[in-house]
A and B are shown apart, each in its own frame.
Chain A
């Protein structure tokens, strides 16, 4: 147990209050900012209708494939991994701080109120802001489950986290077998057609299913494109059934294990002092080197296979089996680079900007949705499905630069980002002071 949690709560219980700016750990903020910007490089594929495939928007050649491959090896999953781990670390940070000041019961109250509001934010983000890739709902729910795990030893946390990530492989395994079966039926149908025989009803259905899964069924894709190029009302109606599935079946089969496993690992890493840059440079060099070597080799191989098999669906599932290790390894590489930069303290402007982005992570995350919706959806510029794969990253760079500039400027005048301010005000059920320089009332 770390000293924070071992110390008894102060008997003269004061009311719990939001963290003061001087209490924040800069390296964690910078890492969070980094991960948050990284997440946009993935989510842009949802906004831009690219759906993890270079062939849907533009040709699967040249720059499109290069960008796709780099993105798949270096970014995919790693930013979500870092973000989940940081959320796990945040669980300990928040509860330990309030337990110290006001006691265990108060800490739990703040914790659960906070995560229930996050759940509500997730619902708003998913339905009202029509974003088809929200993580807030999952984080809010998973955090409710993980509360009693926060005081476990790093060893136990690492074991449990790995175990949950292993359970997460069950679902892709089922998909794998379903895909394999369907693909066999499709192949059989092709053979039958070539031989001039009629294909069965089942084979027809298998073919339809296969096309849908490949996201190549032209009708379904056109329907989606038409919907997102229309007005808000149409898009809203279009996303409802998909959000219901994502929040329920998606959570059960995929996202719970994905988030819970990484959060538990994050708690362990926080306990081990890895996020706060307290480890030696040697440690980070070693960690990063091993992580990159292992992760890039594994994911590089998978990506080459996917290319060699022309983005075959089976090769989109197979990487899921090793992703627990693969994305974690690359994420640890990113983490080490960030920690080394934080230890160096350079480039100063970038670290300071990233920390500012990280301090208003929720605002910036929702900001991605608001900005990208106006760029891509019908009620804005309607570029949905119109940009080639590599062109999507122009939008990404523009948003990055915007947020890297605006976030530090905002925090010069205000204590919190607007969404953070709302979240905290709701959690503590009292308006929090917004202007910087003033202490919250307690």
Chain B
């Protein structure tokens, strides 16, 4: 890619170009929020790292231990961590575009802005592919982040109101697929039930009725976790790198296309638009009053816990019935939005508290090297769970899995501030920025003053 310095012929006449933001100029609240989001994301992904896919996508009881405690942990994770951390990261991503736009004050910087932003996305797309395939991460969100980020640019100058409205609208489109799935499921069940009743009455079943019956029975079996698939997952993840890679490569085209098209894009892009709007309103950078954040947290949790809590309760009460799960999914965007706003309110309250400034420094450090820590979680988890590492896949119960989570959190909370004492960026951030600016950026902490942003 072109060197940004050559992208325009007279940069000196047109003012300073964009440079990576200096550590001193960063907004602490954003880093703290990003830190919490990255740490929390592990709480949701640990299921994908450590348990067969069916345990997180279908019936949690197929792996990770039985008993009330494990079920409660599952429910708590589902309510608080399954989605909201990624949603907060997406909001921050949207805020990032606004920040970049704000920093581009000179004509030269403004001309450079679109190229810089989109070069970052193209590299993120490639990072996503590498993370997904080479790091074997079916949990990857870098790739969908890049895809969703591609649509944001021309919206950056809209009013906060329009941005929030667009965000809500996009988020709502994400409900189309769950509703469709639920309606189809209801129809399939009704047909199968009718066929069964006919069979019970001694009638000869038509070919269609027979098919309806077998299809529904297959759906039910699958919904409780297909035993063969679970066994295959366990065998694969306990074996070597290449076997896992082959397995991941067979899943990835669907995960990185159909899943994004149907659901993830709407969820992420919606949150990104909301993030752009909320940043403009000063909500993401902690500029609102403590009262405001208290109300935000209260309203968010009240709505989210009422809606998602009720639905999760019903799903458990109905023994993880597939239609109840599909029904709960239709409210996913609403629950996601509410809980995310609740988290946002709490984190901002923490970030605003003066006496918490020092204790929260490690969290901010984790947030400043979010990409490195995010990929780091995958690498550590592989070493713990995959066959070429400790091979603990599908062995630990959920209770103990969160012990692993605590371990990784501690490691990252200690290592990140230490790293940033010596270096300007995390290794992943350094690589990403160097590639986006297409020049080898200094990574050492001691930097000449002229390179610091004004």
Contacts and interface: CB of A to CB of B under 8 A. Distances in A.
Interface of A: 6-9, 11, 99, 103-105, 107-109, 112-113, 116, 141, 144-145, 147-149, 151-152, 244-245, 247-249, 251-253
Interface of B: 1-2, 7-10, 14, 104, 107, 110-115, 118-119, 121-122, 125, 150-151, 153-154, 253-254, 256-258, 260-262
Given A6-B9, A113-B154, A116-B154, A105 B113 contact: yes
Contact of B154 (A104, A109, A245): A109
B1 A149 contact: yes
Nearest to A147: B118
Given A8-B9, A116-B151, A253-B253, A104 B262 contact: no
A109 B158 CA distance: 12
A390 to B, nearest CB: 37
Nearest to A156: B1
Given A113-B154, A149-B1, A152-B2, A248 B114 contact: no
Given A8-B9, A11-B107, A116-B151, A148 B119 contact: yes
Contacts of A252: 253, 256-257
A107 B8 CA distance: 14
Given A145-B122, A244-B262, A105 B253 contact: no
Nearest to A153: B2
Contact of B112 (A104, A112, A144): A104
Given A104-B115, A144-B118, A144-B151, 10 more contacts: A8-B10, A104-B7, A104-B113, A105-B111, A112-B153, A145-B121, A148-B1, A151-B115, A248-B260, A253-B257
Contact of A244 (B253, B256, B261): B261
A108 B115 CA distance: 8
Nearest to A251: B257
Q: Is the interface of A mostly helix, strand, loop or mixed?
A: helix
24 contacts: A9-B8, A9-B107, A103-B111, A104-B8, A105-B111, A108-B154, A112-B114, A112-B151, A116-B151, A116-B154, A144-B118, A144-B150, A144-B151, A145-B125, A147-B114, A148-B118, A149-B1, A152-B2, A245-B258, A248-B257, A248-B260, A252-B256, A252-B257, A253-B257
Contacts of A99: 111
A108 B107 contact: no
A103 B258 contact: no
A175 to B, nearest CB: 12
Nearest to A149: B1
A109 B114 CA distance: 8
A11 B111 CA distance: 11
A116 B257 CA distance: 18
B261 A247 contact: yes
A7 B257 contact: no
Contact of A249 (B107, B113, B257): B257
A249 B151 contact: no
A8 B114 contact: no
Contacts of B1: 148-149, 152
B55 to A, nearest CB: 25
B104 to A, nearest CB: 8
Contacts of B112: 104
A104 B111 contact: yes
Contacts of A247: 261
A114 to B, nearest CB: 9
Contacts of A249: 253-254, 257-258
A326 B174 CA distance: 41
A188 to B, nearest CB: 22
Contact of A103 (B9, B107, B153, B254): B107
Contacts of A11: 107
A149 B153 CA distance: 16
9 tightest A-B CB contacts, nearest first: A108-B114, A104-B111, A252-B257, A248-B261, A248-B257, A144-B150, A112-B154, A248-B258, A148-B119
Contacts, number: 85
A230 B153 CA distance: 42
Contact of A148 (B14, B122, B260): B122
Counting chain A CB atoms within 10 Å of each CB, which of B256, B258, B260 scores highest?
Answer: B258
A358 B359 CA distance: 65
Nearest to A151: B2
B258 A9 contact: no
Nearest to A171: B253
Contacts of B153: 108-109, 112
B247 to A, nearest CB: 14
B257 to A, nearest CB: 4
Contact of B110 (A105, A151, A152, A251): A105
Nearest to B118: A148
A248 B111 contact: no
Contacts of B107: 9, 11, 103
Contacts of A251: 257
Contacts of B10: 8
A151 B150 CA distance: 19
A103 B110 contact: yes
Contacts of B104: 105
Nearest to B157: A109
Given A103-B107, A105-B114, A148-B115, A7 B9 contact: yes
Nearest to B109: A105
Contacts of B260: 248
A6 B6 CA distance: 9
B32 to A, nearest CB: 31
B150 A9 contact: no
B94 to A, nearest CB: 15
Contacts of A144: 118, 150-151
B231 to A, nearest CB: 18
Contacts of A9: 8, 107, 111
B226 to A, nearest CB: 16
A252 B133 CA distance: 14
A99 to B, nearest CB: 8
Counting chain A CB atoms within 10 Å of each CB, which of B1, B104, B257 scores highest?
Answer: B257
A304 B107 CA distance: 59
Nearest to B152: A112
B245 to A, nearest CB: 14
Counting chain B CB atoms within 10 Å of each CB, which of A6, A149, A152 scores highest?
Answer: A149
Nearest to B2: A151
A343 B397 CA distance: 75
A6 B2 CA distance: 12
Contacts of A105: 104, 110-111, 113-114
B8 A8 contact: yes
Contacts of B110: 103-105
Contacts of A149: 1
Contacts of B125: 145
A11 B8 CA distance: 13
Nearest to A427: B154
Nearest to A13: B107
Given A8-B10, A104-B115, A108-B114, A244 B258 contact: yes
B175 to A, nearest CB: 16
Contacts of A109: 114, 153-154
Nearest to B250: A174
Nearest to B14: A8
Contacts of B122: 145, 148
Nearest to B252: A252
A248 B114 CA distance: 26
B277 to A, nearest CB: 18
A105 B117 CA distance: 11
A160 to B, nearest CB: 10
B286 to A, nearest CB: 29
Given A152-B2, A249-B258, A252-B256, A145 B111 contact: no
Nearest to A245: B258
B211 to A, nearest CB: 12
A277 B254 CA distance: 43
A103 B258 CA distance: 37
Nearest to A7: B9
Contacts of A7: 9
